[in-house]
Structures are given as C-alpha cells and as structure tokens.
Amino acid sequence: MMNNAVVVGRIVRDLELHETENGNKVAELTLAVPRSFKNMDGQYDTDFLPCKLWRGVAETTAEYCKKGDLVAVKGRLQSRSYEENEEKHNGIELIAERVSFLSTRKPEADE
C-alpha cells in the first residue's frame, strides 16, 4: 500500500511554531492550490489544504517561509475526527515529510 502526496501552492498565513507537552515542535499551514480547470462560471476554483509539519521541518519552514510564499509539500494524507459545538467532523490533512521552498512573494510597496 502507498500513501504519498505532493502539493504545490501558496501559504495562506504566516506559520506559528508551537511546542507539544513532549517538547516536539509543530506548525500548521494552509496551502492555497488553484485547480487546473475552470468551473461552470469560467473561473478557476482554489482548494485550501491543511498541512501539519513536525520537528525540523516545522522549525525550518516557520523560520524561512511566510504568507504568500510558493512551496511544495511532500507527505502523507491522514484522516482525523474532531468535535466542534457538539457536532462530529471528519477531515483530511497532509502530514509533511518535506517542504521545498519554490519562491517567495514579492514585497508590497507599503511594506
């Protein structure tokens, strides 16, 4: 069996690095990934994919990447269940094994 995924997209918001009770570093990021085809209105939809980064991958990515950067994330898909407002939800997230920095966003004029 195989569970591999590679996703290329732009980081939606700056990463925040956290530490678990066990001392492991963890960060979450959301990638905006445009679809390669147009919808019924002639527009390209965008998927927003959650990714979880652990240890060294989390530290390096949080240090060098920010909102708007283009990255490739290689990893595995993992399902998860959680409750919110007494409702059960299911979701899929990409657990990153490697993050490749493809480009950084251009600085805006007012920065």
Q: Name the CA dihedral angle for 38, 44, 50, 51, rounded to a multiple of 10 degrees.
A: 90
CA dist., res. 107 & res. 66, Å (int): 11
- Is-contact 72 8, C-beta < 8 A? yes
Instruction: Calculate the average pLDDT of the chain.
Output: 91
The C-alpha atoms of residue 46 and residue 62 are separated, in whole angstroms, by 23
* Per-residue pLDDT at 111 exceeds 60: no
pLDDT in tens, 99-108: 999 986 666 6
pTM, rounded to two decimals = 0.82
> What digits encode the pLDDT tens for the residues 15-58?
999 999 999 999 999 999 999 999 999 999 999 999 999 999 99
Indicate the pLDDT class of residue 84, thresholds 50, 70 and 90: confident
How is residue 59 annotated by DSSP? H
